[in-house]
Structure 1
């Protein structure tokens, strides 16, 4: 998963500048998910991937929120049916240190080389919760080299493997290798007339720079990440594992303001319009997807858990899930999603008097990053017991996406209800709410009913259920 990698920033989606030859190869040979979605910001999407559940169900409302220790992850479920499990790169749902109840080990990963948040060139990473250590080089390549070593080790022990690689790229602040930067020296001069705010690699504080220089570095990071994905694909081929290894790539949210140029989409990272939530989505699996496919069925990061559980012979947990099994889509028999996808930017209130879910010392991060926040170059996390359900809890930007329409409520401040037909209006410029008031009511009711289910989960009602037992051995 790329960090802040938006839907348009790939060659196969016809970006005029970005070069992604290996993602393009995956798109040409596997399953291209053209309507693939994530949450509008990073920590919520990572919780979404791990649990198959909307992150508001367990308090990951915004970046820097930790997951709750009771959550059952896809790593738990696949590990229980015999898969080796490894995590590499950005974590961002709790500290990665030893003793953290929400580190990758506690969340089902047997081995990890991870960072509490994002990272740049020469990242400082923690191996299996140990003291952070610097690794020198391009960060995407470092992660893939470590992953290949892990896969080789597991192949020797004849263990099937489930691995998660969450890159630090192309999240700002941006940097790149000279060979990658050289690919983008000829970006149009007009971008030099626009100034954007982002983090300084030198001070860790905000700085204003010409968009042209920023895009050059951002695109260089994407190309380096793409090249690392190509290195992984080649390694799987060399090891004789490529045919029966499923490789799933996506972004974690849309393009941030610092990387935004002209776009056919509305919004940006953090918004529920398409530029905030639509991301690249690709599945390559030669033995399972022998012919290239392009799908416009709506899919989302919460679909990963139920899909992978089906393929691995693992039962899903007995808690409310928000994802659906995409195996029929992979097999080419799923033409519509039928169940809607929900989005909700929750507005936490009164947390200063709420009871912390995890002791503060266990929420302190250790892996440094470039960006300074509140005087720190590390990141701390938080999660709270929600005291009670209040009517004001149901506010905040929210959206429901069906096969035919998308309803956005308060997507911008006081924007009210907006209804879009994305098949005809991908830029979300034509609000159909007044023309279809009955549909607005119908979708609003569905959205509210789902919100009530989410609030019940936030109030910890799901944790009284027993963990599901897995039933089948892994397939190699």
Structure 2
């Protein structure tokens, strides 16, 4: 009861009584582990992605878009709340009760298992704005219930502002009924997907109020195993001729095109309902591409680390009458910007919520001239991988196609400058992303003043967020920069 009063109080502050009568529907589509250039419209050469390419051609493509974290739960919690993982104290993936982060040279903070109910989510904010809210797919911001990724009965979508929510793995191999056999799918046919079907059913409901659809796909997360023979055959030669493991990349190409097909079904359903012109669509990914599957070059790193390929993601917006078709935005943006963006679209004012994001409406409408240079930060006070750390690759390169060791690290980007702060060694690395997008030339020694300035700015911002740090087990003192 107290929690409901708390949330309602802040929502009343967010949404003025005179918000616009004509509301824009909002569709947010989140892919899982989709790399920054896996889509053809971003330069991908493996998979065909005609529906997402068309979406980009009809809207705006962001070329410097970032996830809030290099890992799933932390990124999703940040997107839902508009707050950084550092502020939320939710910097890793949720773990079962009793599981603690492994100690290495430093001791990481205790895992956060649930997104606190006191946090105001996208679902709650938009429901208060008289939107019908629906969530379908991967939740992963609460402790697993009755199996991997099972929705919590106390911290699931329905407890976080989503009136309609359907729990299903759809056609992903996570599903227990993933028992398709060779030959089950003829050419140009795809496995039926309950995640997509549930979302379309939500779109087709008759209602007077606007809607917010949060469609959270499991594709293209591992296990990457496609049941569509014709797609696997389609990408076999292409994968063999490119970088990485041919078998893995073959199925990965099939996975990407399958995701594109499902998104195409949702877009078609919107058109069939005559909702194209009244709907804002945002498509992005929760973090960078998996190191064993995604071609992340020429960017360095992958999912799980804070080099560019770990946090750079595709980000496409279509909003008829607001976004110019075929436009490109080069300004750095983040998934934490979605909360204030959707709040503004809904006619609200979220200034009382202490958000870290900034509304992207001016950028979407082509008003980038007055967009200020701002600092984006990331904070990952953990080690990865949790198991097999000793066998992981010691260094992080470009297209390693192998899991590397990630050590506790934070990062800040201001303009074209990006600094990484490593807590084990206290080492800093500085890069100019305009001239060196692959982060190959560390400028920290040649530009000590710039390095010191960004390091101090990062430290202050994390301090303002009350960030948690790994500790020295011998002194129990936090290791900061």
Alignment partners' CA distance in 1, 2:219 and 2:152: 28
CA contact (8 A) 1:141 1:225 kept: no
Asked if the contact 2:86–2:467 (Cα under 8 Å) also holds between the matched residues in 1, the reply is no
Residue matched to 1:166 = 216
**Offset of residue 170 of structure 1:** 0.6
Cα distance between partner residues in 1 of 2:171 and 2:92: 19
Counterpart selection for 2:195 from 143, 149, 157: 143
Q: Choose the corresponding residue for 2:247, options 209, 213, 227.
A: 213
Q: Does 1:152 align with 2:204?
A: yes
Provide Cα deviations, 1:173-224, integer angstroms capped at 9, x if missing partner. 11212232232021353669x6xxxxxxxxxxxxxxxx21111111111111
Written as runs of structure 1 = structure 2, the 5 A alignment for 1:245-394 is 245-261=279-295, 263-316=297-350, 318-335=352-369, 336-347=371-382
1:99 and 1:230 map into 2 onto residues whose CA distance is: 30
RMSD: 2.7
Deviation for aligned residue 1:148 = 1.1
Q: Give the equivalent residue in structure 1 for 2:124.
A: 76
Which of 25, 37, 44 lines up with 1:15 in the alignment?
A: 44
Change in CA separation of 1:25 and 1:312 when aligned onto 2, cut-off 3 Å:
same
Tell me which of 153, 156, 159 is aligned to 1:103.
Answer: 156
Distance 1:419 1:140 in 2: 47
2: CA distance, partners of 1:63 / 1:98: 14
Secondary structure, aligned partner of 1:283: strand
Corresponding residue for residue 4 of structure 1? 33
Aligned residue pairs total 384
Q: Does 1:410 align with 2:419?
A: no
Secondary structure (helix, strand or coil) at the match of 1:218 reads helix
1:88 and 2:136 are equivalent in the alignment: yes
Secondary structure (helix, strand or coil) at the match of 1:455 reads: coil
Seen in structure 2, the aligned counterparts of structure 1 residues 99 and 340 have a Cα distance that, compared at 3 Å, is closer
Asked if 1 retains the 8 angstrom alpha-carbon contact of 2:284 and 2:316, the reply is yes
Asked if the contact 2:306–2:410 (Cα under 8 Å) also holds between the matched residues in 1, the reply is: yes
Who is 2:270 aligned against?
A: 236
Report the equivalent of 2:84: 54
| 1:444 maps to which of 415, 430, 455 | 455
Residues 178 and 332 of structure 1: is their aligned pair in 2 closer, same or farther, counting only changes over 3 Å?
A: same
Query: Matched residues in 1 for 2:455 and 2:208: separation?
Result: 51
- TM-score, with length taken from structure 2: 0.74
CA distance in 1, matches of 2:50, 2:235: 15
**How far apart, CA to CA, are the structure 1 residues paired with 2:295 and 2:467?**
40
Structure 2 distance, partners of 1:119, 1:217, is 14
SS of equivalent to 1:429? coil
State the 1:142 CA deviation.
Answer: 2.4
- Are residue 223 (structure 1) and residue 257 (structure 2) matched? yes
Name the SS of the counterpart of 2:278 in structure 1: coil
Q: Deviations over 1:41-91 (max 9, x none)?
A: 111110111000012322322112321111111111110010000100000
- Given that 2:291 and 2:301 are in contact with CA atoms closer than 8 Å, whether structure 1 keeps it comes out as no
State TM-score, norm by structure 1: 0.75
TM-fit CA distance, 1:13: 1.6
Mapped contact 2:35–2:294 kept (Cα < 8 A): no
Structure 1 gap ranges (5+): 125-132, 195-210, 349-372, 374-394, 459-476
Task: Give me the whole-angstrom Cα distance separating, in 2, the residues matched to 1:285 and 1:113.
Answer: 26
Q: Distance in 1 between matches of 2:170 and 2:303?
A: 16
